[in-house]
Amino acid sequence: MKLFEPLQIGSRVLKNRIMFPPVNFCFENDDECLAPETIQYLADIARGGAAYLVLGEIYPVEVKKKSPKITSDHHIDVFKTLCNSIHEHGALIGAQIYYPDDFDIRMMPREMLMRIRADYLLAVDRLVLAGFDSIQLSGERFLGSMSSSLINTRNDEYGGSLENRMRFALELIEEIKKRHHEIILEYKLAVTDDPSWKGLTLNEAKQAAKLLEAAGLDLIHAAFTNPSHGETVPAMGIKPYGCFTKIAAEIKKEVSIPVSAVGRIIEAQTAEAVLETGQADLIALGRALIADPLWPEKVLENKPIRYCVSCNKCLDKIADEKKLRCGLHAGSGADRFIKKESPQNIIVTGGGPSGMEAARIAALRGHHVTLYEKTYRLGGQILLASVPPRKRELLRFVNFLSDELIRLNVNIQLGKEIDEDIIIAQKPDHVIIAVGAMSVSLPVEGAALPHVFDSWDVLAGRKQVFGRTAVIGGGLVGIEIAEYLCTEGNRVFIVEMEDAVGIGQSPSIWPAMMENYKKHGVQFFASHTLKRIVKDGIMCAAKNGEVRIPCDSVVMAVNGRSRMFPVDNIRKAGIQVDMIGDCKQIGDIEAAVHSAADLFVR
């Protein structure tokens, strides 16, 4: 595969063409230069086989931000630890330098520009001493503002034409190369479709690429930027796979230096196609390597890969400056918490995400595992969650877990519902209860009428609604089934007792849902509490009194409740019992996966 062929960049050679692009994990405290968790996360990705990793958002000046900082000579040794840990696995490590952009570019005196350049250069000197192989200058933030025709309206040599607006970056590149000719020098060329944002149009970027190469640049990271982080790092179904490779392809036509591509590249076949068709020289896998740091190794060994589903759990946390955590992967790296143990006989009840993940980890630790699932399909509520628009990608996680359980010889018993007596008779060492949750119907008058449906039955295809449909509940379940029903041709409205609909939904997904709602005429009735259901409508309590809303169908989409499973007799028999997932506490897929992993790290 071309993906695993070496690539020369400047004077250095990458062992393959897999790159981890700059990501800020938000592990650092405001006053911390580099957190141990960041070092471990990147080391695990390097161990998994990626050839080139970039540590994102390193600030050369003091800022109150959960991000790496290189503002003192005392920080050099800390960064050396990172570089050494990456080099141990035969990978190269880059440092992306960010600079705050809370300046008035137009009014900034030239002396201040020179001071900022000195800050950059001092940071580069320190990073080189720490052992970094590459420096990436980000064409966002400060450099993005400098290059923007709308933001940079200076009338000196640093404003006006594109060449003038790029002058600061070009002079910086020339000076860095003069000081450190052996370093790989990279530029994140941020292309935007929003003229008000800190980036370049594609046509400007193509011209800028030639200027950057002439200044001495070694590598261009062709990326997209937008005020909305959901546009920059699209969630499932928002944009097609490989959505930004066309940017790399256009840039590559203009230069002879290598160009990397990024944007919803999840599977090896997609990456290979981008390389073979000459659209890029290097493939940047961000969320894909967060979901499975062993992605490169598994591609070579043809093992099941925990493919990213673009749920954007990681992105949403970073946007809120919270510590990164993958929705599908509980380890802070490549399942590094999994160690072989003395084998036990373990029974897992429930084949949803928490039960499957628990069975997977237990089998990896060397235990003999039997998984019981009362239905004839593994996946639990993921099977329902994958039905609404754009959600089909969730099935990749079910496929991964299923393949892993088979590969690890887990004894899977489908269509088998067990109880305490069956478990006790088998004399296991450990029982993991993962029976999930059950849907809830509000106990209101009329709830038993024939035109009232359960949301889980509707998503499973067991029941069909018709006509004007009232979805009761504007939480995550309600908004998703409402979108599903409206795209199926139903006239839908959402009834929610809180003051707003969609509380808790990812900000990278919500705009796409709102667009669909608008297209299909979905109405919101916030601050409406269902009181009773009648044959041709529902009665709600609203701020201005009781309101009657006509409808043909009613779908209950309120939060589920934990399913009970008696365990007292199991414990009395001296068998260890643990409950995980929704049967312990109602949550999402992330909570289910992490509750399973938590069993094995305590």
CB contact set of 135 (below 8 Å; sequence gap of 6+): 94, 95, 97, 124, 127, 128, 176, 180, 183, 184, 185, 186
Phi, psi of 337 (to 5 degrees): -80, -5
Burial 263-299 (b: 16+ CB within 10 A, else e): bbbbbbebbbebbeeebbbbbbbbbbbbbbbbbbbbb
Pairing of β 576-579 and β 491-496:
unpaired
User: Is the four-CA dihedral 493, 498, 501, 505 of positive or negative sign?
Assistant: negative
Tokens of 383: 């099977």
Distance CA 3, CA 342 (A): 39
Distance CA 229, CA 508 (A): 7
One-letter amino acid for residue 276 of the chain: E
Give CA separation, 225 vs 72, 190, 229, in Å: 30, 6, 8
CB contact set of 520 (below 8 Å; sequence gap of 6+): 486, 487, 492
Distance CA 490, CA 553 (A): 10
Phi, psi of 60 (to 5 degrees): -90, -5
Among residues 367, 368, 374, which one has the least CA distance to residue 349?
A: 374
Helix (H) or strand (E) holding 394: none
Distance CA 70, CA 310 (A): 31
CB contact set of 162 (below 8 Å; sequence gap of 6+): 147, 149, 204, 207, 208, 211
SS (H, E, C) 470-527: EEECCCHHHHHHHHHHHHCCCEEEEEECCCCCCCCCCCCCHHHHHHHHHHHCCEEEEC
CB contact set of 136 (below 8 Å; sequence gap of 6+): 22, 54, 94, 95, 96, 97, 186, 187, 188, 221
Among residues 112, 97, 302, which one has the least CA distance to residue 188?
A: 97
Burial 474-501 (b: 16+ CB within 10 A, else e): bbbbbbbbbbbbbeeebbbbbbbbeeeb
The answer to whether 9 touches 221, Cβ cutoff 8 Å, is no
Tokens of 344: 């036990």
Which residues are annotated as catalytic?
141
CA 493 from centre of chain: 30
Distance CA 185, CA 121 (A): 13
Among residues 425, 438, 384, which one has the least CA distance to residue 563?
A: 438
